[in-house]
Structure 1
Amino acid sequence: MAAPTRDLSPRTGGWARTRDRVEHYFDRTATRTWERLTSDAPVSRIRETVRRGRDSMRARMLARLPEDLRGARVLDAGCGTGQMAAELAARGADVLAVDISPALVGIAEARLPGGLPGRVRFQAGDMLAADLGTFDHVMAMDSLIYYDRHDLARALGTLGSRTRGGIVFTVAPRTPLLMAMWHTGRLFPRADRAPTMIPHAPAALQRALHRAEAPGRLAPIGRVSSGFYISQALELTP
């Protein structure tokens, strides 16, 4: 994608506050839950629907990339426990796997299959850090779902300015059911709960990208609905 003419980084306040809530949740409150959910361990029926949904979404996103990724540098933005990073490396990619949660990064490193460590570099920190370099592709599965459309658009602009190919990412779709759940959830205290997912409509997000002067064209590439897991995949291309 073409380099932007001005700084596209999200405004420090909103992005940083949300990022810090996400870090606290995944690094302290829910580490063991996500470790179990992303393993082969038995889980409840509700969490099994989430596990199936995430597996389906990961496959849908990976289908946007070539089977042979040798020579390509790929950012797994929000790598979690490392499932996406491992599959990218298995295709031959040079993977930088970044997550805001050091605890999840540690799990991802421990789980990486033998033969792949040389292809994946794990790093705890902000996926938008300027020193991460440039990429051929970016994958961001369920790592941008907590940000409002202005911060999301600017984050995509920042990533797009460093990416030669496309950015494949997910959002919570703006459906009547999810919007009702979102508005209901805002009525209750949130002390120990997960950060709030913010639903997005592709057309509104494209307008936000335009206002942020972020380059690229946004296109929906499929939705996955599996019990309590509902997610929309999008791709931003030059």
Structure 2
Amino acid sequence: MVATPTYDATRDRVEAYFDRTATKTWERLTSDAPVSGVRRTVRAGRDRMRALMLSRLPKDLSGRRVLDAGCGTGAMTEVLAARGAEVVAIDISPQLIDIAAKRLPEDLVPRVTFQSGDMLSANLGAFDHVMAMDSMIYYTAPDLGRALAGLSERCPHIVFTVAPRTPFLMAFFGLGKLFPRADRSPVMIPHAPKRISEKLLINQCDRTLLKLEQVTSGFYISSCLEMRA
């Protein structure tokens, strides 16, 4: 777990946003229900990113323990379990966990442990793979570095996403700072892979950080990175 004032404050904002403000929005966005044109692009982008991340794992995950860090409504969890993995699906939002548990096909239930709480908790144990799709995008570079360093002590393979430092997202990030903190949702913090490597002291540990691909679909912009031992 990352114990810093900035991490704790961001985690609390993320929990409040997803558990009190945006639950219904995310439930609809991650379903087959009709949505607006803008949200369709976001849905398509998320589908592409999920497929990209899953392509980094073996088709057969039997006997492997996988952490779905920030599982949301469970789309990634379902695929991991269907491939045979023992999945720990955790999210900061209890309401999203409830939705994920209800959506999971009955035959996959024995393979999944749902839990609400901090995705970085050491109490979750060790894993063969960690998947963190759009769950680390709100954290500063120092907190992100600490998070990845802590996870790497318990897992040799981490696939995660960050908001890239594009002109659009940098402008959006700057604009978000203009609004009172209480009146805005958590803001994505754009990162460059080089900066993340510096915070991880990547050259001083047995880890390789790779930038895989950037997915852009309307208002959905996210970069997939992979860290291996």
Contact 2:202 2:208 survives alignment (8 Å): no
Partners of 1:206 and 1:79 in 2: CA distance: 25
What is the TM-score of this pair, normalised by structure 2?
A: 0.96
Greater displacement, 138-147 / 208-217: 208-217
2:147 equivalent in structure 1: 155
Partners of 1:160 and 1:87 in 2: CA distance: 23
> Which of 213, 217, 222 does residue 226 from structure 1 map onto?
217
Question: What is the identity, as a one-letter code, of the residue corresponding to 2:173?
Answer: W
Deviation of 1:217 (Å): 1.6
Deviation of 1:12 (Å): 2.7
Contact 1:50 1:227 survives alignment (8 Å): yes
> Which of 112, 119, 143 does residue 120 from structure 1 map onto?
112
> Which of 103, 119, 133 does residue 125 from structure 2 map onto?
133
SS of equivalent residue, structure 1 residue 206: helix
Q: Is 2:174 the partner of 1:187?
A: no
1:203 equivalent in structure 2: 194
Identity %: 62
Partners of 2:71 and 2:110 in 1: CA distance: 17
Contact 2:2 2:120 survives alignment (8 Å): no
1:80 equivalent in structure 2: 72
The gaps in structure 1 that reach 5 residues or longer are: 1-8
User: Please, what is the CA RMSD of the aligned residues?
Assistant: 1.4
Q: Is 2:52 the partner of 1:41?
A: no
Flag the structure with more relative contact order, 1 or 2, with Cα contacts below 8 A and sequence separation at least 6.
1
Deviation of 1:190 (Å): 4.3
SS of equivalent residue, structure 2 residue 38: helix
Partners of 1:139 and 1:92 in 2: CA distance: 15
What is the TM-score of this pair, normalised by structure 1?
A: 0.93
Partners of 1:104 and 1:214 in 2: CA distance: 35
Greater displacement, 209-218 / 222-231: 209-218
Contact 2:130 2:157 survives alignment (8 Å): yes
SS of equivalent residue, structure 1 residue 159: helix
Question: What is the identity, as a one-letter code, of the residue corresponding to 2:6?
Answer: G
Partners of 2:93 and 2:176 in 1: CA distance: 24
Deviation of 1:11 (Å): 3.4
2:137 equivalent in structure 1: 145
Partners of 1:141 and 1:106 in 2: CA distance: 19
**Cα deviations across residues 149-201 of structure 1 (Å, max 9, x unaligned)?**
000000001111001x3100000001112111211221123434320100000
Structure with bigger helix share is 2
2:55 equivalent in structure 1: 63
SS of equivalent residue, structure 1 residue 151: helix
Q: Number of residues paired by the alignment?
A: 229
The gaps in structure 2 that reach 5 residues or longer are: none
Runs of 4+ in 1 over 6 A off after TM superposition: 211-214
